């Protein structure tokens, strides 16, 4: 049985029918936040409940950082440095090239952030992150604590200014820019223990800030958590049954079927055409016929 479900003829050009979805490693609890370091030939990803960041290479998996402050999403900035969301310390950090850690954001207007979840860097160097409450609702993925702020999306300028740029979502989670950065996609996974709608919103950018959000797509089964864009502008989203490929118009083109619930994904590999997928207890990868926008 193919691991690809082609729902639109356009999707056939994106996949290679005989490419397997390989399980690269397993035995984790809830993996998230994959980020590719092509220059180091490795992938970093979080195993959140076990409070660690792991490093995958072709030789296997080793520990990168433990404790990790229950780190979740990661990305790299324009200089290639690791940017991380930490539930446990309720902050976003940058790991410098010498290994020291710099705090990018941990407060907004004098109040502590909730539990930063996912993060992207724009071409101007600004850092955008989501701050839902999942990491402080229980002691499973961080430390139970009080919610001092609503669940916003923030932008951190190069000068360190933190600005709430989306303030009307229930629980913003995964983030992605379109290739030309004219559209920002944000997944809303809804508040825990609620019946909030779960969907992806698209925000047309106006003078460098998100305008009014519009419904882009509702993933099913499951919901959208982490997302990435390919070089053609398609949005690849996590879902309950794998990874869904959505056109820039929000149409479902096809699926990569994965046997566990997917949390997040990133492009990597020699030609940035290998999709790494974090899914519940395992790390998977599949080679596609498209390149991701992810740097470097």
Binding site for Mg ion (CB under 5 A): 117-118, 173, 225
Residue (4 or 30) nearer to Mg ion, CB? 30
Residue (5 or 32) nearer to Mg ion, CB? 32
| Minimum CB distance to Mg ion, residue 31 (Å) | 11
| Minimum CB distance to Mg ion, residue 57 (Å) | 24
| Minimum CB distance to Mg ion, residue 33 (Å) | 7
Q: Shortest CA distance to 11 belongs to which of 222, 219, 246? A: 246
Taking the mean position of all CA atoms in its chain, how far away is CA 109? Answer: 26
Q: Is 201 in contact with 186 (CB distance < 8 Å)?
A: yes
How would you class 123 by CB atoms within 10 Å of its CB: exposed for 0-12, middle for 13-18, buried for 19 or more? exposed
| Minimum CB distance to Mg ion, residue 283 (Å) | 16
The pairing of strands 107-108 and 111-112 is antiparallel
Residue (5 or 241) nearer to Mg ion, CB? 241
Q: Which residues contact 129 (CB under 8 A, 6 or more apart)?
A: 73, 85, 92, 105, 116, 117, 118, 119, 120, 153, 154, 156, 175
Residue (114 or 173) nearer to Mg ion, CB? 173
Q: Is 154 in contact with 128 (CB distance < 8 Å)?
A: yes
Residue (141 or 225) nearer to Mg ion, CB? 225
Q: Shortest CA distance to 89 belongs to which of 67, 106, 66? A: 106
Residue (3 or 54) nearer to Mg ion, CB? 54
| Minimum CB distance to Mg ion, residue 294 (Å) | 16
| Minimum CB distance to Mg ion, residue 12 (Å) | 29
Which strand ranges, in their side-by-side order, compose the sheet holding 31-37? 31-37, 42-47, 52-57, 60-65
- Match 């030789």 to its residue by tokens: 59
């Amino acid at each position: 049985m193919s691991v690809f479900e082609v729902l639109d003829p356009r999707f056939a050009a994106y996949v290679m029918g005989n490419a397997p979805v390989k399980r690269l490693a397993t035995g984790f609890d809830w993996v998230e936040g994959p980020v590719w370091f092509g220059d180091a030939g490795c992938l970093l990803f979080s195993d959140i409940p076990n409070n660690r960041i792991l490093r995958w290479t072709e030789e296997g998996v080793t520990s990168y950082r433990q404790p990790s402050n229950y780190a979740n999403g990661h990305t790299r900035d324009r200089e290639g440095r690791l940017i991380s969301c930490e539930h446990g310390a309720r902050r976003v950090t940058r790991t410098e090239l010498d290994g020291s850690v710099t705090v990018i954001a941990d407060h907004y207007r004098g109040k502590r952030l909730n539990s930063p979840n996912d993060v992207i860097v724009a071409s101007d160097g600004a850092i955008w992150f989501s701050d839902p409450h999942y990491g402080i609702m229980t002691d499973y993925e961080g430390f139970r604590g009080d919610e001092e702020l609503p669940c916003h999306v923030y932008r951190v300028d190069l000068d360190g200014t933190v600005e709430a740029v989306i303030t009307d979502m229930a629980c913003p989670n995964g983030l992605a820019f379109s290739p030309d950065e004219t559209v920002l996609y944000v997944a809303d996974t809804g508040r825990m223990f609620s019946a909030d709608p779960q969907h992806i919103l698209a925000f047309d950018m106006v003078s460098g800030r998100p305008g009014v959000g519009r419904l882009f797509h509702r993933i099913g089964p499951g919901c959208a958590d982490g997302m990435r864009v390919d070089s053609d502008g398609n949005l690849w989203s996590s879902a309950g049954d794998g990874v869904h490929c959505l056109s820039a118009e929000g149409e479902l083109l096809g699926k990569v079927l994965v046997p566990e619930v997917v949390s997040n994904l990133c492009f990597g590999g020699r030609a940035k055409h290998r999709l790494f997928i974090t899914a519940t207890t395992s790390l998977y990868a599949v080679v596609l016929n498209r390149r991701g926008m992810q740097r470097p």
